[in-house]
Structure 1
Amino acid sequence: MSKIVVTGYGIIAPNTQNRKEFLHNLRDGNCCLQSVIGLGPNSESIVVGLIDKGLEEFENNKYIKRLPRVTKLGIKAAKEALEQAKITNLNEKKVGLFFGTSLGAGGEKSFQNAIIEGNRNNFNKIPVTFSHIANYHCITSAIGHYLGVKGITKTITTGCTSSLEAIQDAMVYLKSGIIDIAIVGGSDSPICQATIYAFAKTKVIPLGQSLENGAVPFHEESDGFAMSEAGGVLILEKEDAAIKRGIEIKGEIASIVSNNDGVYTYSVDETGDQMVNLLHEIARDKNPSYINSQALGIQTHDQIEKRCSQEIFNHKTPYTSIKSMYGNPFGAIGVLQVISSLLSIEHGFIPPTIRTTKRGFENMNIVTSTVYQDINEVLITNHGHGGNNACASIKKYEGDMNVLR
């Protein structure tokens, strides 16, 4: 069966407008987060990842200007991905669009304001766009409209695993022959009072902590994670189709598996049994160059990663987490982990987990400064609010580009 390969990718994230800047920040270990005073429930500072530039091109288009920010992030990333893959004739191919989002447009002011006005029973204050903003699938369909996609269009919302599971779904459609090309990714822009207050109540947002100790993966003094925003997109094709097009193949999506903890909505599975089972399944007979981990500064989650490291790899395989640099952009984090893995494979390096002293995780093989070496395979771990777990294997492409030309 033909391999599923990546022929293009695009990204927008904090301090990152494109894949070139993403590579630079990953390789240099740059912190793209900031501590902002006044965002907490009692005006405390919190660590966040904000995008302050990169969407200016949409301000002169009156139609795109009206779209939610989360949609614009998806469009921006998709444009770059399609450009790299050299795909312009979408109408001539069977194209599928698969997008993951966790919060949709629920973190945006227009949505929040509509809810407030609605509670005042003022019908005329509800914007005509409210039903579109409230419907997650309208985000994906708006991205599809901009790109010119009229084929299969799917929205996946499984918390922070959304974009990784969007890739999983796209692979099924590609392998079945239903589509020729998959545009797949995720976007989220969750930073608003509602989400900040909600996560602060559950004690997973570090209130008043500095960048030194707040939202730091693999660091026992961290009191939680950094909320962030981002968009990322991959172009996926079958190997033989990509070779026939003569396009450069960036890497292979070898496999993606997922499951659910199966616990009560308002509880957390602190054992990590399902994540361990999943990683066992995908890591079987593999010797990955490193693990691109879901660790994000929440002690429960990071301890599960430590258990995986011990039981499956005997603490020998290197671990890292890009969330130390970029925080957690909810449903977009999975595709960002994939893109970061592809860049590390192409350029031969393991990105560091910055800011951590490894306190409480000393036995793990945590990479804290950039390591330059050949990278052949990266395993990704990902966990979502709602209990979903997802793991992926991203491999260096080793096929012969001349076979089918």
Structure 2
Amino acid sequence: MSAVEPFDAVDVIKGKRDRRELATDEIDWLVDAYTRGVVADEQMSAFTMATFLNGMTRREIRDLTLAMIASGERMDFSGLSKPTVDKHSTGGVGDKITLPLMPLVAVFGVAVPQLSGRGLGHTGGTLDKLESIPGWRASLSNDEILAQLEADGGVICAAGSGLAPADRKLYALRDTTATVEAIPLIASSIMSKKIAEGTGALVLDVKFGSGAFMQDIERSKELARTMVELGTDAGVATSALITNMNVPLGRAIGNANEVAESVEVLAGGGPSDVRALTVALAREMLDLVGMTDVDVEAALDDGRAMDKWNAVIRAQGGDPTAPLPQARETHVVTADRDGVLVEQHALPFGIGAWRLGAGRARKEDLVQHAAGIELHAKPGDAVRAGQPLFTLSADEPARFPRALDALEGAWRIGDAGEAVQDGGPLIADRIRA
């Protein structure tokens, strides 16, 4: 004889449809019942659409987040001899910041547990990038994660399937029901995994602009505030930086080429915007764990961050000295006139790299690690006719035409003195509880 459920899914859906504030035990039951298969996909689809249209209160979002955490296991880093701090980015074009950031912060005796994912769509995943390195492995047991954090201070690996399984099921549903952009659902999805991960502090890099998940800066701020509140309510010291994604970040867009650019930053060089954002996020992370009087930039320039990178890559089976994959084919796009590059829009370059093979349309698709785009000029740079603007790389030349179609109108060369695309400052705001 089957157990009698304490609530009915139709009543909960109707409540949210009619803008009623749901009770904690209703939300707890809904998430648990959906995870168990008692609530059907079509019912949860109706609930996510009602949430998209009518929103949730701060208390409801907190309850939803805690219910998703309760659906699985929680990691515990309390046995480590050092404080823990993590970073999460909402993703963008050329966003490789996790790679140089983790070893940089770990230099200062802080444990950085970066439990990451693979990319879907135009934003490449951190694990996809690192899997460009020969021998590197993404899957670690919980014991291996703890041991590496204690020994080396940092880890970047795949999040275990036991963390917030309700979120994994709900995430797939949102993707097919046009409810991805619902802020209560985005915030609870991100924060359920991060809180379950067990970090003591968390910095959020919330993007805005043409290549961001949230293009409008005010919506990005709303999402950031919601997530900071969730972290604070759960006892995790949380802050957010609102950062610009109108222009691609750095000059490399892809996987292997983004690893190479990250190594340049760790060697004290690299593009100025990648270095600046890495340093800003490192300072924010260290500030949350009480380390305010440290010279972050010195650790990039004197080799300490590079030494930490090499140690962490080797700990996960990778060879940091091995050559990275190279694409079999390239296509160079050159300037058709003298002038100044006045526009360079992020999203088309992300889609172009995706069409070259750097991303995936479905979870099961394979990523081509050497595929991507290398930018030779950024907005404000003077260019001459015939000078390379960017290079496309792919293993199959048949991919070039569709990538070039995506890039149609993505950049513009103007005359000297013409106003250059103003995407605003790299870091537009900082949000704390």
TM-score bracket relative to the smaller structure = under 0.3
**Larger helix percent:** 2
* Bigger Rg over Cα: 2
What is the TM-score normalised by the length of structure 2?
Answer: 0.26
Higher RCO (C-alpha 8 Å, min separation 6): 1
TM-score by length of 1: 0.28
